[in-house]
Amino acid sequence: MKKALHFVFVVLFVGICSLPLLGLVFGYENVNIEKRALAPAPVFINEQGFNPSYPQEAEDYLSDHYAFKPYLVTADAIMRGALFGESVSEKVIIGREGWLYFAPTLPDHLATDVLSDNEVYRIARTLMIQKEALARKDIDFVFVVAPNKASLYPECMADRYVPTGKENNYDRLYAKFAFADIGSPDLRSLLRTSKLDAGSDETLYLKLDSHWNGRGAMIAYRAITNEIRSRRPDLVLNDYRDVAVEKQEIINGDLSVMLYPAAELIENQYVYALPADYTSARPIRSMEDMLIQTSCAGGQGNLLMFRDSFANALIPFFSDAFSSATYSRAVPYDYRLMTEQTDVVVLEIVERNLANLITAAPILSSYAIEPITGAQPDDIDLTVYVENVDGVFRLYGTAVPSNYDPATNYDIFIRLDGERSYTYVTFPILEPELAEEEEGDQAQNAAFSARIDLSALDPGTYSVSIVVRDKNGSVIAPYGEIAAP
């Protein structure tokens, strides 16, 4: 009898362990709830013969497709979370009272891995250049940072993550804004104040998701439109003060799907009864679409918004308020989406991605400034890449002066000398093409990127020089020539 029980146990154990593989063999398919393409089936023989990557491809395929994966992952996550408070996903942190946090936001919560002084300077300068370029076209610019969830609800973060007490990237950047006319509403302060006023029973962020809920989105919308109205009082933008709001149950947030893929977890969402009078230029598959364009007969003004997923909840608010609105998730920010009717550009980015603002220069033509006088000749170490596409002269690279200091904030300009002289600003950004090619320290504080519209120049040949300016003065070095048609 005892041997029979052992035999049954072994058969059951082997059978259960074999179920995921047997299910795959017999055609069972999991529902793909991950926001990525799963690994394709491996090929043993390809056009070149034996596929040397077959073992790795087979492993990736089995890892992605074994039968009942969502249920097994969910069961493991629930067990380990309940027993040890551990998360089976490297992207999700299990907090207190059922709150989940996006792990990549942890450095901001702890104030570790912070931006350098020069990186903060370059972010602020990059934003100022965009603002000035738009102002010359009579277009307003509003920059806004969506706070990380942990910045609003640190009290529910897991106890083992103790902040250092230092300033994080949001603190450092907004301290810089105090001395620069960026024009950026401080959403973190506004949301923290609203959170305290509302009480703990009415949250502004979702417990199972990394984003704000409808109430948080409404506060953000009003803060942004208040900033716009302060500059454009002619725009009468709906603030939805009389719009009803109700709680609705929703299933699963982005974090709970990562952690418990087969579970159906419910929480409350705040839903506003918006007019929804807007129409879209093309069908909106989801608010995650890379490009969304809307129009509303009852709206006012024309909006271009560069955004990330935090703006998903903002799109209905803005689309009913503006006559036309264009929302782009593409990076780098493409200002060719502007039209002659554009009134305001909003650049929204989540707190955890602030460093991304200086990873690629916006696609925006540089503007000319007054000549920089007194620049002294110098043996500047130039690494310059040049493109001439559709009448736009693009230069990017590094300009390292002979007295280079890695801690100095350098401003770099392009000077063109012909029958007339022009001096153009550049973004203080090391373009990804150069960053990928070079190794080690690339003197990012001496990086530049510019796009010069050749049609704005008088026809002729121009000598090109690079001007580098710091707090002690300016130096200049020749580079080459360009021809304007």
All structural domains of the chain: 19-93 (no CATH), 101-358 (no CATH), 368-484 (2.60.40)
Q: Residue 319's pLDDT is what? A: 98
Helix (H, G, I), strand (E, B) or coil at 467: strand
**What number is the average pLDDT over the span 420-446?**
84
Q: Residue 477's pLDDT is what? A: 97
Q: From residue 58, give the alpha-carbon distance in Å to each of 27, 43, 62.
A: 16, 8, 6
Q: Give the tens place of pLDDT for each residue, 152-209.
A: 999 999 999 999 999 999 999 999 987 777 878 999 999 999 987 655 668 999 999 9
Q: To the nearest whole number, what is the mean pLDDT of the chain?
A: 87
What predicted TM-score, i.e. pTM, was given to this entire model?
A: 0.86
Q: Residue 15's pLDDT is what? A: 47
- Determine the distance from the C-alpha atom of residue 49 to the mean position of all C-alpha atoms in its chain, rounded to a whole number: 42
| pLDDT over 80 (residue 79) | no
Strands (E), 57-197: 92-94, 100-102, 140-146
Q: Residue 464's pLDDT is what? A: 97
Give the confidence band of 304 by pLDDT, cuts at 50, 70, 90.
very high
Ranges 1-5, 37-41, 266-270, 442-446: which has the least confidence: 1-5
Q: Give the tens place of pLDDT for each residue, 80-89.
A: 555 556 676 8
Q: Give the tens place of pLDDT for each residue, 308-341.
A: 999 999 999 999 999 999 999 999 999 999 999 9
Residues 6+ apart with CB under 8 A from 53: none
Q: Give the tens place of pLDDT for each residue, 23-67.
A: 455 555 655 555 556 666 666 676 666 667 657 765 565 555 554
| pLDDT over 90 (residue 368) | yes
Q: From residue 202, give the alpha-carbon distance in Å to each of 207, 450, 460.
A: 11, 47, 65
